[in-house]
Structure 1
Amino acid sequence: MQKIVLTGARGALGTSLRGPLSKMCAQLVSTDIRPAPEGLFDNETYVQADLAKFDKIAPLLEGADMVVHFGAIVDEKPFEDLLGPNFIGAYNVWEAAHRHGVRRVVYASSIHAVGLAATNAGIDTTEPHHPDTFYGLAKCFAEDMARMYWEKRGIEAVCLRIMSCTPEPQNIRALGTWLSHRDLIQLVTRAIDTPTVGYTVVYGVSNNTRCPVDNTKAAFLGYRPVDNAEEWAATLLAKAGTPDPHDVALTRLGGPFAAVPLGESGMAAIAALTAKTTTPTG
């Protein structure tokens, strides 16, 4: 592969992907709204750019085979704050991909696109959109756009509904939703090297014993996660105390994002849940 473009390259997940992606192509172009990181890979170039500005993003995709689109505000915010980076930014990526003949977009979607679905419903990748926040709504918008650009313009897309991607599971919710960085890298690799994908949705989740979603219909990607949050189950459950069966943060797939008022930080709510889980009581 000649060229891959990575957006959101300065984010936590983008940072972990730069090295593996640099090994999959002759030229990696990394971009983010933040300044360049220290130490680029030999075949990597970095461009600081705002996703909401088409004239800054579009030239980066010239000659690209694929775009790995991880750039966005990764939290719930007022709609006006998300409009540029999360909505318009996604449009800019797909439209630029179309104009430059890019073959495929690998998109960092989110579980929050279906965040108000019940945790115990056992949903699969055909679940209708059920966003829990404006942030989740942006993911629905981009997924629908990805499908439209595939059906109308022939650009393939793999939408990764990422769940809880951290070095280790942080709370009892993550016993089902955790995605390790190692499995994230495998997932993105399979989204890139699978010969044909059309329009595909797949959940970004590790091989957790308590996984609440079903990836069977995306099995053709060859994604076979190896890590399992159950290794941390005894410790996390012991510290969590007795859960409230009516707590929306536990009974909906979006977790704390499903419980917060629209426009208010879901990440802050996750931090509070994590603190409650990891701090002994009594």
Structure 2
Amino acid sequence: MLITGAAGKAGTGVRPLLRARGHELVLLDLTPIDAQPGERAITGSFTDEATLSDALNGVDAVVHFGGYSREHLWSNLLDINISGTNAVLDAARRAGVRHVLLASSTHAVGYHPIPSIPVHDLPPRPDSLYGVAKVAMEALGAVYADRYDMTVVSARIGTVEDRPRNLRSLSTWLSYSDLVRLIEATTALDLPGSHTVWAISANTRRWFDISNGQGIDYYPEDDAEFAAAEIFEPGAPGNGLIGAEFADPEHELGVPW
């Protein structure tokens, strides 16, 4: 299994869990990684064709975490998050890798108001240029799945971290254990096509319907509620939008923060 952006928060969080479950990992990142037994680390960019070809040698699935994780200059989002995703998908196709998980985001729908009941699906309504890049990522996943009979899961990730840390994350949290469950559901899925799922845990206060993922056999087990007593924030989270601070006026489009 190849993980791009493996030195980031999500990659770092899932690596030991995947290793413990017997997965052999290829780790690709611009930041050097100290590989553990069962891992092969490659320092380089997923936008480089030769580096990608090396990284894909012998793997059976791709988990694409790489790219900017916040609002950034449009030129950078275009080069890395959009063109880079296309490069990863095309290299996977050429290498015969049929299963790809793309790290999309709830910021692809971040300008929708927070739903009053868990919602099964939402059309794109990005809250930022970063969110626009995630919409493009999902579209790229769909066209590669349809054209080349690949299985591509676009995971609309909420808040992936070791534990919930604010009121919003009580609804959007994704545990590392549940992210591993989603990765394994993707790699085991014998259903070519494009599949967009809410990548959240089974949170009591969830905004999104977790049955959305059952079509690919993703069944989250963790719940952010264990941390609720530690969080002291009154009222509703943020500005009432799914994207929260990403949609705030003080964060201008295309300005890194």
Task: Report the TM-score when normalising by structure 2.
Answer: 0.90
Counterpart selection for 1:188 from 180, 183, 199: 183
Between 94-103 and 194-203, report the one with greater CA deviation: 194-203
Q: 1:224 to 1:26 in 2, by over 3 A?
A: closer
What is the match of residue 243 of structure 2? 254
The superposition leaves residues 77-121 of structure 1 with CA deviations (integer Å, 9 ceiling, x where unpaired) of: 111222222112101101101111111111111111111111115
Contact 1:7 1:71 in 2 (8 A): yes
Please tell me whether the aligned partners of residues 202 and 210 of structure 2 are also in contact (alpha carbons under 8 angstroms). Answer: no
Number of the residue aligned with 1:214 = 209
Q: Per-residue CA shift, 1:35-69, capped at 9, x if unaligned? A: 122xx232321111112223322332233211111
Structure 1 runs of 4+ with >4 Å offset: 23-27
Q: From 13, 18, 28, give the equivalent of 1:31.
A: 28
Are 1:71 and 2:66 matched, yes or no? yes
Counterpart CA distance in 1 for 2:23 and 2:208 is: 36
Q: Which residue of 2 aligns with 1:164?
A: 159
Larger Rg: 1
C-alpha separation in 2, matches of 1:8 and 1:184? 15
Q: Name the SS for the 2:91 alignment partner.
A: helix
Is 1:124 the counterpart of 2:120 in the alignment? yes
AA of the residue aligned to 2:202: N
Mapped to 2, the partners of 1:169 and 1:26 lie a distance apart of 27
Distance 1:151 1:232 in 2: 41
Residues 110-133 of structure 1 show CA distances to partners (whole Å, capped at 9, x for unaligned) of: 1111111111154323x2211111
Shift of 1:161: 0.7
Question: How far apart are the structure 1 equivalents of 2:133 and 2:103?
Answer: 11
Number of residue pairs the alignment of both structures matches: 254
Cα distance in 2 for residues equivalent to 1:145 and 1:255: 26
Unaligned runs of 5+ in 1: 269-282
* Separation in structure 2 between the aligned mates of residue 242 and residue 142 of structure 1, nearest angstrom: 34
8 A contact 2:145–2:192 mirrored in 1: no
Asked whether 1:105 is paired with 2:97, we answer no
- Alpha-carbon distance, 1:194 to partner: 2.9
TM-score, scaled to structure 1: 0.82
Supply the RMSD in Å over aligned alpha carbons.
Answer: 2.1
Matches of 2:23 and 2:182, distance apart in 1: 21
The residue aligned with 1:7 is 4
> After the TM superposition, which of the residue ranges 76-85 and 88-97 deviates more from structure 2?
76-85
For 2:100, what is the secondary structure of its paired residue?
A: strand
Residue 76 of structure 1 deviates from its aligned partner by 0.9
1:134-191 residue CA offsets vs partner (Å, 9 max, x unmatched)? 1111111111011101111112101111101122211111121111222222222222
> Is 2:26–2:55's contact at 8 Å kept on the other side of the alignment?
yes
- Give the Cα–Cα distance (whole angstroms) in 2 for the partners of residues 252 and 86 of structure 1: 23
Secondary structure, counterpart of 2:62 in structure 1: strand
What is the percentage of aligned positions where both structures have the same residue? 33
Distance in 2, matches of 1:9 and 1:144, equals: 23
Please state whether the residue corresponding to 1:240 is helix, strand or coil.
coil
Alpha-carbon separation, structure 2, partners of 1:123 and 1:52: 35
Find the aligned partners of 2:93 and 2:190 in 1 and give their Cα distance.
Answer: 19
State the match for 2:233 in structure 1: 240
The offset of 1:25, in angstroms, is 6.3
